[in-house]
Amino acid sequence: MTTSALRLAALSLTLSATAFAGPPDGKKAAEKEKIAALDLKGDAKRGKEAYKVCAACHLDSAAGRSDGTFPQLAGQHTTVLIKQVADIRAGVRENPVMHPFATTLVDPQELADVAAYIQSLPLPTDNQKGPGTELALGQKVYEKACVTCHGKKGEGDAVKFYPVLAGQHYAYVLRQSQEIRDGKRKNANADMVKAIKKLSDRELQAISDYLSRLSMPAKGAAAPAAPAPAAKN
């Protein structure tokens, strides 16, 4: 049986089990796996094999779905990819759709390998855009509330685990922003919750639209970087 077949068999067993409930020490487990994976050199060739399970939702290109149901992964900081997958695997970030797929990764090395493979893929160019009706408002609010962490061009910060937002699918950014604002995403950065908790749906829609129209950072801008010792989770 091939490695891919073994993964699919394991996934089938996981999907047939009861819903996952993260352990009480999930945050410690996620942090431990994140640190371990970041300390390893990812192998894109091995990561390509492991990514096959991910491609079912995120596509072979890692461009995600144009309706925003699944985010673009290509072009994202490897540090962010590693952190978010580790959080999902440990139940710190609740994602019942992705959790069974994420748990097919066997160890921190494989997590580093998948991140390295995604990093090697071409940048997507046809992400879902917003309606384009309030871009001036989106830019204004973004520069006031978000630019300090996510950068002037939506490039994020690999060292601090702030994701690239430029060129991400409009509906995905909007949904995640609303969930973070409303306290539904449990692994959200506390500074971001504070920054957007008073923003209206209209303002979040405008920000998401504005970001969807920015160009993703040039290849290499999302390269992995050593995280700061006191990086916030």
Q: pLDDT per residue over 34-66, tens digit each?
A: 999 999 999 999 999 999 999 999 999 999 999
Which distant-in-sequence residues (6+ apart) come within 8 Å of 121 by Cβ? 61, 62, 74, 75
Q: Is residue 218 part of a domain?
A: no
What's the Rg (C-alpha) of the chain?
17
Tell me: pLDDT of 226 over 70. no
pLDDT for position 219: 62
Tell me: pLDDT of 29 over 50. yes
Domain that holds residue 146: 135-212
Mean pLDDT computed over 208-228: 69
CATH number at residue 172: 1.10.760.10
Task: Give the long-range contacts of residues 35-38, CB within 8 A, separation 24 or more.
Answer: 36/108, 37/82, 37/86, 37/108, 37/109, 37/111, 37/112, 37/115, 38/79, 38/82, 38/112, 38/224, 38/226, 38/227
What's the pLDDT tens digit per position in 66-102?
A: 999 999 999 999 999 999 999 999 999 999 999 999 9
Q: Is residue 128 part of a domain?
A: no
Number of domains present in the structure of the chain? 2
From residue 35, alpha-carbon distances to 30, 82, 95, 99, 126 in Å are 9, 9, 21, 20, 33
pTM above 0.95, yes or no: no
